[in-house]
Every structure is written in C-alpha cells, then in structure tokens.
A and B are shown apart, each in its own frame.
Chain A
Amino acid sequence: MNALDFSIAAQAWPYLWSGLIFSLSLTAAAFAIGMVLGTCLALVQHFEIPVLAQLVRGYVAVIRSIPLILVLFWFFFLVPIVLGHLIGNGRPIPIGANATAFITFGLFEAAYYSEIIRVGLRAVNKGQFEACQALALSTYDTYRHIVLPQVLRVASPIILSQTIILFQDTSLVYVLSLTDLLGAASKLAQLNGRLVEMYLVVAVTYLAISSAASQCVAALRKRYAVATSR
C-alpha cells in the first residue's frame, strides 16, 4: 500500500469545504425549523388541544419509529405524487432534492425536539405557574417569558446533543444525490483512489465539529447546574 499522501486532501479541500457548508446549512436550517415547529407540537400536546393533540402524538410516534433515510425516500417520491393529485392534474409535481432535504430534515427533527420540549414543560415547577397567576400574567406571557425560557435552558444540553446527531445524519442526503461533506469525500475518493486519506480527513472534520459541540453541551450543563443550585 502507498504511503499516505495528504497533499491530495489539500487539493480536494475546496470541494470538501462546499460539502461541509452544505452539511452545516442543512443542520442549521433543520435546527431552526425543528425548534420552531417542535415547540409548537410540544405546546399542542401540553395544552391537550382537542383533535390536534392526538394528530401530533401520532405524527411524533410515526416519525420517531421510522429511520430518517426512509422518510427522505418517501418524501422525495411520494409528496410530488400527492401534491400532483391535490393541486395539479394528477401529474407529479417535483419538489427538488434540496427542498426535500431541508423540509424533511426539519419535519423529522421537529418530532425529536418536540419530545424533548414536552418533557421539559412537564418538569417546570408548579410554583412558577402559581407565581405567574398571582402576578396576573396572561397565559401567553407566562409561557413566553417564564416557562419556555426555563424549558429551553434545562433542555439545551439534550437539544444540542440531538443536533450533533442531526449533523452526522446529514450524510444521508446521498440518497437524494446531494453532496454533503461525506458525499464530497467519497466522490473524490472514487476519482483519485485515495480512500484512506479522504475518509480520514472527513472523520477528523466530523470529530472536531462534534466534539466542539459536545464541549458546549458540557459547558451548558455546568452553567445550568450553577444557576439552579442554592
């Protein structure tokens, strides 16, 4: 076997970089969509809104029991057909690989985040609600300024852990023929035959980003522990 040659990796870096940027943008977008939607889904269940709460529970249960890769497939192949029947003349309306990836990841993450937030909502001390009532705060202000900020604070380490998993899962977009960091590396590896170098560079990049994020998780945990200890 040849000696390792990392100059290949240096040449390949611009292409890997664009893959990395895609992975990070997909993570960021899925995080944003997932958090906003996930919070809504959690609140719908928390307030036991009739009918909607049952639907949301079903949605969360289904999404959480199916591998992401299957959801990606289904979304990519089924949604255009469904859309076609709903608004068009029955002919499939393609929604494109990129849109599929962003929407699917967002919807998928929303289910996971909503579970985290739902559990967090139940953990808020009853006394906090009573203090809000005694101060005549509206339900909206109570949740907006007191309950949700506390939930997000307590849940932030778990939310960030979930987001690290999400970042790693972005490699699944290869099924949509999209090129993320891992996808970029494997394409190059097949072209130049430098599999080991390519995969090492990619592994180190994932490791660096994920462990930096893990450090943040640890810091958050510590900070939260300090803030609540009396």
Chain B
Amino acid sequence: MPQETVSNTAQTAAIVVVENVMKRFGAFTALNDVTLRVGKGEKIVLCGPSGSGKSTLIRCINHIEKHDGGRIVVDGVELSHRVADINSVRCEVGMVFQSFNLFPHLTVAENCMLAPMKVRGLSQAEARDRALGLLQKVRIGDQADKYPAQLSGGQQQRVAIARALCMQPKIMLFDEPTSALDPEMVKEVLDTMIELARDGMTMVCVTHEMGFAREVADRVVFMDRGSIIEEADPETFFRAPRTERAKGFLNQIIH
C-alpha cells in the first residue's frame, strides 16, 4: 500500500515524533492517544474545531504543556522532566503565537537579540547582525529600532517570526498566526510563512487558511475532541474528506 511507504519514510527521517500522547487538564482529556510523525522539511497543517486540542498538541512539542503519557522525541531528544532536555528541544523549536507575544519594552531588534545572546551565547554584535538579516528577510529591516507597539499587527507577527528564526531552529510551530490580524494583513504574514516553507523549514502550523494549506502543506492533519481523526494531502482532504466530522468542519469554515 502506498500509504504504508509514506509513513515509513516519514518515520525514518522523522524529526518530531509524537507517540500515544495523553494530556489531561483535571478530569478533561485534551489529547487522547495522539500519534504524529513529522519528517525533516515536512510541512503540516493542523486543523479542527475549537477546543479539539490543536494548540495543546503543538504546545506539548516544545514542552510549554507537559504531556501526561506517551512519548515526544524532537530531533533525537526525548522530552522528559530533565531541564537540559527541555531546553535543548526548545532551542531547536521556534514558536509563533496567535497574539505575537513580543516583548513590549524592547525594540524590535532587541526582541530578536535577547535569546540568541542569553541562550546561544552570541555577542551583541553577532546577535544584531543576525537579527537585522532576518528582519530584512521578513521585510521589516527598516523597523529594527522601533518598539512593537509602533508597528501594525502584520508587522508585529513578522517580527515574532524573525525572533523565532534568530535561534536558528530546525522546526517552526505556528499557532493560528493570522487569526488575530486584520484581513488586509493576513497575506503578508502568510507570504512570509510560504517563503520559509520554500527554504525547507520543517513546519507545523495550526491554521484554517486553506489557501496556505493547499500551497505549502505536505499533509493536513484534522483533529477533533483530542484525537487525530484524519490525515491526507491537502488536495484530497479539502476535496474528499473521509470522515463526517471533517466534512462538517470544512462546511463550517467555508461558509
């Protein structure tokens, strides 16, 4: 079966392995036996109804949420309770949030320089060089010395992407990066993400932007009530979803 070979190749080159992961909040099960492998350079779009566990899943990958069962291995390091493991995973995993979470008291450049200096040990000059280069790449090089509050939402989100890239991560996680933006700013952020995808970055994106999914995703993963219930390439998923729940969900986001 072709299905088999696909998952096998993904397994051998997998950079993120999520295996039988459980996550509970009190009595509520947010993730129920979730298994997901992400190959090097693979782009995954995670979608599903509100409360289905998408954020929880990607937040477990960089240990912002602790999983209660199963295994998560990122770039060969298993997430355990050891601080050293957690930190080495976090160094390789960049994250972009729905609400940007830029540091309001630091300039755009300083936002990008802090972690490379404190965590990666770069000098100030090296960190600034790297920051300016990446800000240029996301097309806000001329805003480097402004404060986040002086920028538009779309610009702020691109700063957040540059800030994450400054750590030179191997994997980028996006949690609804465009859903807090005014419609006219969505495109500039998606374009940045598309460019990043073309550069070969491994990406896991929670988003309902179907155009983006069609353009860059290798796989669309559909979650509902804490479980992955459907996985397919974007064309197949959007044209012919297999499960009723995915059909219902797609109807909802189209209308």
User: Is B167 a contact of A135 with CB atoms below 8 Å?
Assistant: yes
CA distance A137 to B93 in the complex (A): 13
Per the 8 Å Cβ criterion, residues 140-183 of B in contact with A are: 147, 149, 153, 163-164, 167
User: Is B105 a contact of A227 with CB atoms below 8 Å?
Assistant: yes
Q: How many residues of B contact A (CB 8 A)?
A: 26
Q: Does B95 belong to the interface (CB within 8 Å)? A: yes
Q: Does B90 belong to the interface (CB within 8 Å)? A: yes
User: Is A135 a contact of B105 with CB atoms below 8 Å?
Assistant: no
Query: What is the total of A-B residue contacts with beta carbons within 8 Å?
Result: 67
CA distance A149 to B107 in the complex (A): 13
User: Is B115 a contact of A135 with CB atoms below 8 Å?
Assistant: yes
* Contact flags B71-97 to A (C-beta < 8 A → 1, else 0): 000000000000000010011011101
Q: With contacts A127-B99, A131-B97 known, is A137 near B104, CB below 8 A?
A: no
Q: Does B119 belong to the interface (CB within 8 Å)? A: yes
How far in angstroms is the closest Cβ of chain B from A5?
53
How far in angstroms is the closest Cβ of chain A from B211?
26
**A227: B residues at CB distance < 8 A:** 104-105, 147, 149
**B102: A residues at CB distance < 8 A:** 131
- Chain B residue nearest to A127 (CB atoms) is B101
User: Is B103 a contact of A153 with CB atoms below 8 Å?
Assistant: no
User: Is B101 a contact of A136 with CB atoms below 8 Å?
Assistant: no
* Given A125-B101, A137-B114, A145-B114, 4 more pairs with CB closer than 8 A: A128-B101, A131-B102, A137-B115, A230-B149
Interface residues of B (CB under 8 A from A): 62-64, 87, 90-91, 93-95, 97, 99, 101-105, 114-115, 118-119, 147, 149, 153, 163-164, 167
